[in-house]
């Protein structure tokens, strides 16, 4: 095995060569990296990723995952989801370090498939799906938060939707400021979120009951079609809960020393969160029997009430809602930079390229996303999660695994401050994992993804013809 393929990540002390590569990347970066301020370091970047990952997800999806697998064997899905996230995280780390510009996949796909050819279509399709996916992602956190609030007070379905929309509005207001103050807010929320999970883990481990936690039902390990179907459904839920380790790539134009900070923040976030999720799930089913947990809509509140009483359960519910808000905050921050990056390059509506004149953040993109997310809160949580994951996997994650291999093979001119170990194995494993998730999670969502894809291709061709762009021009690289 060649030396450059060894599992050394080269992100502790970057060499002078890597520093020069970073300087070159900043020099040739797309205009968003020039217009925005590079203020985020490792702590803030890792915080932005973890806040995105640890929202309402694990607090409300544990019963859904248990139901999908039919018992505590769901722990296998958490491990599988962590492995998939690690492989996919290496894809994001290599691309993000090489192209540290706000917009993330928009830039990666453009460069991998050709800036003046197929890359135009692929990057447009990412933007097209992000118009749907980003509000779905934000709304899922907001709706989950509002659903958890029902443990504290009886809310009608209409009141739940209204509360979720209000959460989106509040996040928009808090994000309407410069990136430095946002970094401070993210760091504060990060410690609160991690503290909440650690309290859950501590409560479970101090009341550990392995016999209860691992009371598998008869036939739990029968490797039938239903087992693998359930595993696919549970892994989708795990992937949703782990999702967000790449959030810093969406705001790469605002990261200091991106060749070092971006890979480090991604890998740290995955390692921390995957460990905490496994411990938290095991802790919960050690205290609350899994057959009872399946029926709960506020599992962690029930867990806390069982251990410490109703008063502490109320406190924990508030902490969980704050964690969920942190996720909404982080996701909105990342996606608000995507349409901005495309607009600066002339591939999206020009109005989205506007920066706040004093505080230098994309205020038009942010306000538009906030409004769309509030409207998406009209959907129920299960539909939001499944549609989000299937559509995003089909149009972005699968294609991005191919993109990192195209960059390696076709773009010899591009410096790579970070190279994934054991290349191309992580990319191929991520490709296989995402394919498995799509194939096992409902063909109506796959059909919706295909319809969105076809509409996106049609929209691109209509726009390209009007603008005399590829494939209706003779423009070359």
**Residue 221, both tokens:** 């390990």
Higher pLDDT among residues 341 and 274, named by residue? 274
* Structural contact between residues 169 and 370, judged by C-beta atoms closer than 8 angstroms: yes
Q: What pLDDT, on the 0 to 100 scale, is given for residue 119?
A: 92
Evaluate if residue 8 carries a pLDDT over 50.
no
Degrees, nearest 5: CA angle 465-467-471: 45
Integer Cα distance of 287 and 168 in angstroms = 34
Position 393 pLDDT exceeds 90: yes
CB-CB contact of 393 with 191 (8 Å): no
Give pLDDT, residue 10.
Answer: 42
**Do residues 337 and 32 touch, judged by C-beta distance below 8 A?**
yes
Helix (H, G, I), strand (E, B) or coil at 228: helix
pLDDT of the residue at 42: 85
Percent of the chain residues past pLDDT 90, beyond the cut: 40
Structure tokens at 196: 């909440």
pTM to 2 decimal places: 0.81
- Give residue 477's pLDDT band: very low, low, confident or very high (50, 70, 90): very low
Average pLDDT across the chain, whole number? 84
**Range with the lowest mean pLDDT among 141-145, 353-357, 365-369?**
353-357
| Cα–Cα distance for residue pair 251/338, rounded to 1 Å | 8
Q: What is the DSSP letter of 352?
A: G
Residue 399 has pLDDT above 60, yes or no: yes
Domains of the chain with CATH codes = 25-214+234-467 (1.20.1740.10)
Structure tokens, 6: 């060894």
Taking alpha carbons only, the member of 72, 372, 67 closest to residue 211 is 72
Q: Which stretches of 345-420 are DSSP H helices? A: 363-376, 381-392, 398-410
Provide the token pair at 309.
């009483």
Q: What's residue 210's pLDDT?
A: 87
Does pLDDT of 179 surpass 80? Answer: no
Counting residues of the chain whose pLDDT is more than 70, the rounded percentage is: 88
The CA-atom distances, in angstroms, between 202 and each of 207, 265, 299, 309 are 9, 25, 16, 16
Q: What is the mean pLDDT of residues 250-267?
A: 89
Section 99-111 average pLDDT:
85
From residue 418, give the alpha-carbon distance in Å to each of 34, 258, 260, 262: 22, 10, 8, 9
Q: In a 3-state reduction of DSSP, which class is residue 153?
A: coil
pLDDT at res. 35: 59
Q: Is the pLDDT of residue 308 over 60?
A: yes
328: Cα separation from own chain's centroid: 11
Question: Do residues 327 and 54 touch, judged by C-beta distance below 8 A?
Answer: yes
More confident residue, 475 or 53: 53
Nearest partner of 188 among 209, 174, 202, judged by Cα: 174
With residues binned 3-state (H G I as helix, E B as strand, rest as coil), the percentages for the chain, rounded to 5, are: 75, 0, 25
End-to-end CA distance of the chain: 34
Per-residue confidence (pLDDT) for residue 458, from 0 to 100: 93
Helix, strand or coil for residue 255?
strand
- Whole-angstrom distance, CA of residue 100 vs CA of residue 27: 11
pLDDT in tens, 442-470: 788 899 899 999 999 998 998 888 888 89
21-30, 280-289, 327-336, 435-444, range with the lowest pLDDT: 21-30
Q: pLDDT value at position 184? A: 67
Residues composing the chain: 477
Question: Could you tell me how far CA 107 lies from the centroid of its own chain?
Answer: 17
């Amino acid at each position: 095995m060649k030396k450059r393929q060894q599992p050394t990540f080269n992100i502790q002390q970057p060499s002078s060569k890597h520093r020069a590569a970073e300087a070159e990347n900043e020099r040739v970066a797309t205009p968003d990296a020039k217009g925005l301020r590079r203020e985020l370091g490792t702590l803030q970047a890792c915080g932005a990723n973890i806040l995105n990952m640890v929202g309402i997800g694990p607090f409300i999806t544990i019963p859904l995952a248990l139901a999908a697998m039919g018992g505590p064997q769901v722990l296998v899905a958490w491990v599988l989801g962590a492995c998939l996230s690690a492989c996919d995280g290496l894809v994001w780390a290599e691309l993000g370090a090489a192209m540290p510009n706000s917009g993330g996949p928009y830039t990666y796909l453009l460069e991998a498939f050709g800036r003046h050819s197929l890359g135009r279509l692929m990057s447009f399709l990412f933007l097209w799906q992000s118009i749907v996916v980003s509000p779905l992602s934000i709304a899922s956190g907001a709706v989950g938060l509002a659903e958890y609030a029902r443990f504290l007070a009886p809310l009608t379905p209409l009141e739940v939707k209204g509360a979720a929309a209000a959460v989106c509005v509040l996040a928009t207001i808090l994000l309407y400021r410069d990136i430095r103050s946002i970094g401070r807010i993210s760091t504060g929320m990060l410690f609160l979120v991690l503290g909440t999970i650690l309290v859950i883990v501590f409560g479970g481990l101090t009341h550990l009951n392995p016999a209860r936690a691992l009371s598998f039902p008869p036939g739990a390990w029968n490797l039938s079609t239903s087992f693998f179907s359930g595993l696919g459904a549970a892994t989708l839920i795990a992937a949703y809960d782990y999702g967000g380790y790449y959030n810093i790539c969406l705001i790469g134009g605002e990261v200091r020393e991106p060749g070092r900070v971006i890979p480090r923040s991604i890998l740290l976030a995955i390692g921390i969160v995957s460990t905490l999720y496994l411990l938290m799930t095991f802790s919960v089913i050690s205290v609350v029997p899994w057959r009872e947990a399946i029926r709960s809509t506020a599992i962690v509140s029930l867990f806390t009430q069982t251990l410490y009483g109703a008063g502490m359960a109320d406190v924990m519910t508030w902490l969980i809602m704050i964690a969920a808000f942190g996720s909404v905050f982080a996701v909105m921050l990342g996606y608000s930079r995507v349409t901005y990056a495309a607009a600066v390059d002339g591939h999206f509506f020009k109005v989205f390229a506007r920066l706040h004149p004093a505080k230098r953040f994309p205020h038009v993109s942010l306000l538009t996303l906030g409004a769309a997310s509030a409207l998406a809160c009209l959907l129920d949580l299960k539909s939001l999660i499944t549609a989000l994951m299937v559509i995003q996997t089909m149009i972005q994650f699968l294609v991005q695994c191919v993109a990192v291999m195209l960059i390696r093979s076709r773009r010899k001119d591009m410096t790579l401050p970070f190279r994934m170990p054991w290349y191309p194995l992580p990319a191929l494993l991520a490709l296989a994992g995402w394919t498995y998730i799509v194939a096992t999670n409902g063909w109506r969502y796959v059909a919706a993804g295909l319809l969105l894809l076809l509409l996106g291709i049609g929209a691109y061709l209509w726009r390209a013809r009007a603008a005399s762009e590829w494939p209706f021009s003779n423009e070359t690289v």
